Amino acid sequence: MKVLANDGVSQSGIDALEAAGIEVITTKVAQEQLANYINENKIDVVLVRSATTVRKEVIDACPDLKIIGRGGVGMDNIDVEYARYKGLHVINTPAASSSSVAELVFAHLFGGVRFLYDANRNMPLDGDSKFKDLKKAYAKGHELRGKTLGVIGFGRIGQATAKIALGIGMKVLAFDPFIEETTITLDFYDNRKIDFNLKTVSKEEVLKEADYITLHVPAQKEYVIGKAEFDAMKDGIGIVNAARGGVVDEVALIDALENDKLSFAALDTFENEPNPAIKVLMNNKVSLTPHIGAATSEAQDRIGTELASQIIEILK
């Protein structure tokens, strides 16, 4: 049995697969050569992250392929229903990266309320000559404690983000059309636990009441946040998108930043990925990361071992 990890896989995943007698190939195959490579090398399993797509044409061209695996949550780069219709197993790791994404959201939030995204641009340029000016410019930060975090999309990652928010003393308002109520459990280092029972609210209430908003939704045909949603928000809030590019209208976002409707925005995903719009990249109110929400060593280890476990169970 052979596995092609076309976008890479952790060493822990490789070790688990090889221990089960499964060969792992980590060669990076160009998208246009993927089907040929799978057939020529008799690949049974192809693993992808977000860079490689497995669409109908690849599925049709590879009749001996048995499993398609996605290292992460969203599977919008795979024609999932068609693959299953053709008899393939399609697997992913929906829980493995939740904590990593949630922590990145708060890295952006903490940086946003204290202007780190801008200070880290300007201190290397002017820190030696304009120190007092910069100190004055960044001296009106805010605390997150006591503020309201709006969470749009309250699945695993949204709930993991809510845990951090509750832990630092924020109020959480969550919207999710598929979830009415859930229990968030905060686990502490000394084995103590506290349960919070949260009922979701309307999207309109989140937009109206939140001081900060974070999105955790799958790819959509329409914008989840556009001009109308920005208009419904409080003035001066911050927004984070570590979900998918295209769920936020970036033209409306830049307009909201320039009109001070938003105090800052933080983007880990982009509409035109991997070539984000220059207006987004150059705006001095935007905190930027290159789609690294799940890119921690811990998350990648969990993803690798979870994929390996599922593959072994299916193939054996």
Residue range 114-160, pLDDT digits in tens: 999 999 999 999 999 999 999 999 999 999 999 999 999 999 999 99
269 plus 226 within the same structural domain:
yes
Range(s) of the domain holding residue 102? 98-288
Looking at the structure, tell me whether residues 280 and 191 fall in a common domain: yes
What confidence score (pLDDT) does residue 100 get?
97
Residue 197 shares a structural domain with residue 264:
yes
Are both 280 and 176 inside the same structural domain? yes
- Is residue 302 annotated as a catalytic residue, yes or no? no
Domain identity same for 230 and 256: yes
104 with 182, same domain? yes
The Cα–Cα gap between 276 and 269 comes to 9
Q: Phi/psi at 217 (nearest 5 deg)?
A: -125, 160
The pLDDT score that the predictor gives to residue 94 is: 87
273 is catalytic: yes
Annotated active-site residue in 23, 258, 273, 298: 273
Confidence at residue 73, expressed as pLDDT on a 0 to 100 scale: 84
45-48 and 237-241 strand pairing: unpaired
122 and 24 fall within a common domain: no
The 3-state DSSP composition of the chain as helix, strand, coil percent (nearest 5) reads 40, 20, 40
Residues 130 and 145 in one domain: yes
How far apart are alpha carbons 110 and 164 in whole angstroms? 12
How far, in Å, CA of 197 to CA of 181, rounded?
Answer: 7
108 and 201 in a common domain: yes
Same domain, 112 and 147: yes
The one catalytic residue in 108, 291, 302, 306 is 291
Among residues 156, 216, 244, 302, the one annotated as catalytic is: 244
State residue 56's pLDDT score: 97
Beta strand spans in 160-231 (E) = 171-175, 181-187, 193-199, 212-215
Q: Running along the chain, 316 residues long, what does each successive block of 10 average in pLDDT?
A: 96 96 96 97 95 96 97 91 98 94 98 97 97 97 98 97 98 98 96 96 98 95 97 98 96 98 98 95 97 94 96 93
Let me know if 244 is a catalytic residue. Answer: yes
Query: Is 103 found in the same domain as 33?
Result: no
Q: What CATH number should be reported for the domain holding residue 242?
A: 3.40.50.720
Q: What is the pLDDT of residue 316?
A: 80
Q: Is the Cβ–Cβ distance between 196 and 184 less than 8 Å?
A: yes
Mark whether 18 and 122 lie in a shared domain: no
**CB proximity list for 302: less than 8 A, separation 6 or greater:** 93, 96, 97
Residue 74: predicted pLDDT = 81
For the chain, how many structural domains are there in total? 2
Do the bridges between strand 193-199 and strand 181-187 make them parallel or antiparallel, or are there none, so unpaired? antiparallel
Predicted confidence at residue 97, as pLDDT, reads: 93
